[in-house]
Amino acid sequence: MKLGIIFGGNSYEHEISIVSAISLKKILFNLDIFIFLDTDRTLYLIPKDKMKAKTFSSGEYKKEKIVTLSNSKLLVGGGLFKPKEIQADIYINGIHGQDGEDGTFSSVLDFYNLNYIGPRVQASVVSYDKHLTKLYAKEMGVKTLDYVVIKKGEDISNIKLPFDYPVIIKPTTLGSSIGVNIVESANDLEYGLDIAYEFGNSVIIEPFIDGVKEYNLAGFRANDYYFSMVEEPQKAKFLDFEKKYMDFARTEQVFKAQISQDLEQKLKDNFINIYNTIFDGSLIRCDFFVVDDEVYLNEINPIPGSMANYLFEDFSMAIDLLTNYLPMQNRIDIKYQYIDAIHSAKGK
């Protein structure tokens, strides 16, 4: 089984995606094909030995061969010569944030009938939009923190939050802590909103619980559920972009969180409720808070940095299992019976 990865994208997390793909090169031995999506949506085939950050930051990637999407295959070259088919059986959607996690690239892969590891369009939209994540989680019986959604331009002069300060403000649709900030009092709310509005027209405000216990759990479904170990992430006041960014390059295993079996089971149960069936085909990481022994979903990462490989004891085996459980598209056989029926009715 030969794997390919598509990474980059028109996203604030473009660089994260590059670092993440480089990390995966080191740990997945059957990962052989590297396809870079430029911000202007051109795809390039990057030779394995050029999978270094500098290839991208220097713009050298532009010398590489352009890849085009075609039905059930990716093609490279062309011009005077017949284009050559790229030989990967399954592609990892390794584009983070916009383009990759918002459903765009999943749809493109589905449209071209390519086999891929990654969230499908519905799962992408549900996890990309933090507001929809809240609605979905609640429906699935998973708690989340209280929240308020505010749109750019809304009058906030008389706003009364249903929880106390400090609060944390996040753009509704970005990952990796971009635009996220903590506001200590009502006086600073407007300023905090402005920071978040730079990255979107809608923000979500939640109570900020200093020192809250945080646990990350990755996993996927392949007949049964397959889980990573639970990690208690190290943190500053909160993980800002740069700290999270460094995190994306991780390939070393972490230490297992010291938690009771009971709590571990609770985290797994919540994970299963979230994963449900809509995340089929993807390895996701759920980040949870634990407050007074209750589990709350913080966020769903449907394409976690470097696929959260460092949380798995045998990551290659995990990927093997997952590749055998990718959802198939529903192909529809059109018989034109309605059009024919109308023609008959019209006597034509």
- The two tokens of residue 207 are 């109570």
* Binding segment (CB under 8 A) for a copy of itself, from list 38-46, 224-232, 285-293, 309-317: 38-46
Number of residues that bind a copy of itself (CB under 8 A): 64
Q: Give CA–CA dist 326/343, Å, rounded.
A: 41
Binding-residue pattern over the window 269 to 308 for a copy of itself, x denoting contact by CB under 8 A? --------x-------------------------------
Residue in 50, 77, 110, 148 binding a copy of itself, rule: CB under 8 A: 110
Across the strands, what pairs with 112? none
- Spell out the residues 6+ positions from residue 51 whose beta carbon is closer than 8 angstroms to its own: 21, 22, 25, 34
The answer to whether residue 340 forms part of the interface with a copy of itself (CB under 8 A) is yes
- The two tokens of residue 136 are 């979905």
- The two tokens of residue 87 are 């030989």
**Of the candidates 332, 343, 329, 335, the residue with the CA atom closest to the CA atom of residue 116:** 329
The answer to whether residue 122 forms part of the interface with a copy of itself (CB under 8 A) is yes
The answer to whether residue 104 forms part of the interface with a copy of itself (CB under 8 A) is yes
Residue in 27, 28, 121, 321 binding a copy of itself, rule: CB under 8 A: 121
Q: Whole-number minimum distance, CB 293 to a copy of itself, in Å?
A: 27
Residue in 164, 242, 292, 314 binding a copy of itself, rule: CB under 8 A: 242
3-state SS record for the chain: CCEEEEEECCCCCHHHHHHHHHHHHHHCCCEEEEEEECCCCCEEEECHHHCCHHHHHCCHHHHCEEEEEECCEEEECCCCCCCEECCCCEEEECCCCCCCCCCHHHHHHHHCCCCEECCCHHHHHHHHCHHHHHHHHHHCCCEECCCEEEECCCCCCCCCCCCCCCEEEEECCCCCCCCCEEECCHHHHHHHHHHHHCCCCEEEEEECCCCCEEEEEEEEEECEEEEEEEECCCCCCCCCHHHHHHHCCCCCCCCCCCCCHHHHHHHHHHHHHHHCCCCCCCCEEEEEEEECCEEEEEEEECCCHHHHHHHCCCHHHHHHHHHCCCCCCCCCCCCCHHHHHHHHHHCC
The answer to whether residue 62 forms part of the interface with a copy of itself (CB under 8 A) is no
Residue in 57, 87, 234, 265 binding a copy of itself, rule: CB under 8 A: 57
The answer to whether residue 115 forms part of the interface with a copy of itself (CB under 8 A) is no
The answer to whether residue 330 forms part of the interface with a copy of itself (CB under 8 A) is yes
Nearer to a copy of itself, 2 or 26 (CB): 26
Nearer to a copy of itself, 113 or 234 (CB): 113
- Spell out the residues 6+ positions from residue 186 whose beta carbon is closer than 8 angstroms to its own: 165
Nearer to a copy of itself, 2 or 54 (CB): 54
Binding-residue pattern over the window 127 to 166 for a copy of itself, x denoting contact by CB under 8 A? -xx-xx--xx--x-----------x---------------
Q: Whole-number minimum distance, CB 53 to a copy of itself, in Å?
A: 4
* Binding segment (CB under 8 A) for a copy of itself, from list 25-33, 48-56, 161-169, 296-304: 48-56
Binding-residue pattern over the window 203 to 222 for a copy of itself, x denoting contact by CB under 8 A? --------------------
* Binding segment (CB under 8 A) for a copy of itself, from list 100-108, 203-211, 281-289, 297-305: 100-108
The answer to whether residue 11 forms part of the interface with a copy of itself (CB under 8 A) is yes
Q: Which residues bind a copy of itself (CB under 8 A)?
A: 10-12, 14-16, 18-19, 39-42, 53-54, 56-57, 69, 71, 98-99, 102-108, 110-113, 121-122, 124-126, 128-129, 131-132, 135-136, 139, 151, 201, 242, 245-246, 249, 277, 329-334, 336-343
